[in-house]
Amino acid sequence: MTALDHAAAVPCGDDARPGRTLRAALRRAAPALLAYAGTRLVGLAVLAIWGAVADRSPHQLLAARWDSLWYTRIAEQGYGYTLRLPDGSIHSDLAFFPMLPALERVISAISPLDAAGAGLAVSCVTSLLAAWGIFAVGDLLHGRRVGTLLVVAWAVLPVGIVQSMAYSESLFTAVAAWAVYATLTRQWLAAGTLAALAGLTRPVGAAVVAAVWIAAAVELLPGGRWRRARRTDPELLAGVVLAPLGWLAYVGWVGFETGSATGYFEIQSGWGNGFDGGLAFAGFIGGMLTGPGFPAGLALLTGVAALLWLFARGVRQGQPLPVLAYCGSVLVLALTAKGYFCSKPRLLMPAFPLLLPLALALARLRPARTALILGSAGLGSALYGAFWLHGSGPP
């Protein structure tokens, strides 16, 4: 039995059974979605109270700082803005993938919202869709209780406030989670289309492509479903072809605009981004461990070790290959990037399968204890989110 066959053989939620309606699927996911919405509302309430005391606007903190300003500018004026910093570095808006600003532009054109408000609306809706997709994956693999706990664990991440910001994390996670679900359930056209959309949303869309391609490779291996169900071949091949088109289209367009086949990567280099196998990140941690920032460096090193342990735990628990491929790709891309080290927690947010071992552990506890743990984590996340956005915040 292949990994995909194992995933399909696990008892599924109602939403995974043929003939079930969207209403039935939503009803099954309702507890997870309500818990998620409640967690996010607590986070926003704490942010609003903190903002009232500090005389800061929550709207400005959520939609008019850092990357959200770049998305808004693209939505309103299109691409073409470049910022030259005193140190000589060049920041071009071509570093930002087009899906979020395109949605902001459309929504602001057909509604009373401006581009920044449209960005918040996109995050609000897509964070719920992301929660639903995460639930669907957890429910498919381990049942409804684990799916619900997986969603809440994602909601209470320390940087969970980003899920409510005019950033692309919620949009990307929604597309990626449903792409993984479609891959696990062998809905190849949907998986390929969603992977293409993920590739138009963030550079890490390549991780979704990896999940689709590895799942397809399993199907094509001797003994795979390919040999047993020839009628699925055209859909599988179409999904494989569709999956990378979004990512390739944007990177290719940037290459055309810049006159260089490697134009997108040169622009990322101007931002101080790129991939060096994790050498710069290791040096950053090493510098903290050998200086006055030792406690923070030790905490960061512990966090990285915990992430690697969670991934290894997922491997030992037999998570399907597409899940591991997606999660592992996000993990590798985040940890081996050489810039914006403080952004790594939010860059890792789409790697929701890392939380599956925690959800399984929580499912074995008594409900009261589970509620206490997650409730405490949710309150801590809300307080940290407000503190974070009123301080350095996400770059």
Let me know if residue 46 belongs to a domain: yes
- The whole-number pLDDT of residue 18 equals 43
Q: Which domain holds residue 200?
A: 3-390
pLDDT in tens, 32-48: 999 999 999 999 999 99
pLDDT at 183 over 90: yes
Amino acid, single-letter form, for residue 319: Q
Let me know if residue 395 belongs to a domain: no
| Strand intervals (E) in the chain | 82-84, 90-92
As beta bridge partners, residue 90 has 84
Per the structure, how many domains does the chain have? 1
- The whole-number pLDDT of residue 20 equals 56
Let me know if residue 120 belongs to a domain: yes
The crossing angle, in degrees rounded to 10, of helices 245-258 and 205-220 is 130
Let me know if residue 281 belongs to a domain: yes
Q: Give the CA count within 13 Å in the CB-facing half-sphere of 337.
A: 22
Q: Rounded to 10 degrees, what is the CA torsion of 205, 209, 212, 217?
A: -160
pLDDT in tens, 59-107: 999 998 889 999 999 999 999 999 998 887 899 999 999 999 999 999 9
91: burial class by Cβ within 10 Å (0-12, 13-18, 19+)? middle
Let me know if residue 347 belongs to a domain: yes
Let me know if residue 282 belongs to a domain: yes
pLDDT at 352 over 60: yes
- As a whole-number percent, the residues of the chain with pLDDT over 90 amount to 74
**SS3 call for 234:** helix
The tokens for 244 are 């990378």
Let me know if residue 108 belongs to a domain: yes
pLDDT at 138 over 80: yes
Q: In whole angstroms, what is the distance from residue 341 CA to residue 284 CA?
A: 8
Amino acid, single-letter form, for residue 184: L
- The whole-number pLDDT of residue 277 equals 78
- The whole-number pLDDT of residue 280 equals 81
As beta bridge partners, residue 82 has 92
- The whole-number pLDDT of residue 365 equals 95
